[in-house]
Amino acid sequence: MGDLLRSGPAPRARLRELLAAPDPVVAPGAYDALSARLVEQAGFDVVYMTGFGTTASLLGRPDVGLLGGAEMVDNARRIVAAVDVPVIADADTGYGNAINVVRTVQSYEQAGVAGVHLEDQVMPKKCGHMSGKAVIGTDEMAGKIRAAVAARRDPDFLVIARTDAAAVEGLDAALERARAYADAGADLLFVEAPTSEDDIARVARELAGVAPLVFNWAEGGRTPPLPLDRIAELGFSLVLFPIGTLLAATTGIRALLAALRADGTPAGALPGVPSFDEFTDLIGLPEIRSLEERFGA
Question: Active-site residues: which are they?
Answer: 48, 63, 90, 92, 117, 119, 127, 162, 192, 216
Nearest CA-CA partner of 164 in 196, 131, 140, 197: 131
Quote the longest CA-to-CA distance of the chain: 64
- Beta-bridged to residue 115, according to DSSP, are 88, 158
The rounded distance, in Å, linking the Cα atoms of 292 and 297 is: 5
Mark out the alpha helices in the chain (DSSP H runs): 11-20, 33-41, 51-59, 69-82, 98-110, 138-151, 166-169, 171-183, 197-206, 228-234, 244-263, 276-282, 285-295
Asked if residues 117 and 88 have their Cβ atoms less than 8 Å apart, the reply is yes
Asked if residues 207 and 178 have their Cβ atoms less than 8 Å apart, the reply is yes
Q: Assign 150 to helix, strand or coil.
A: helix
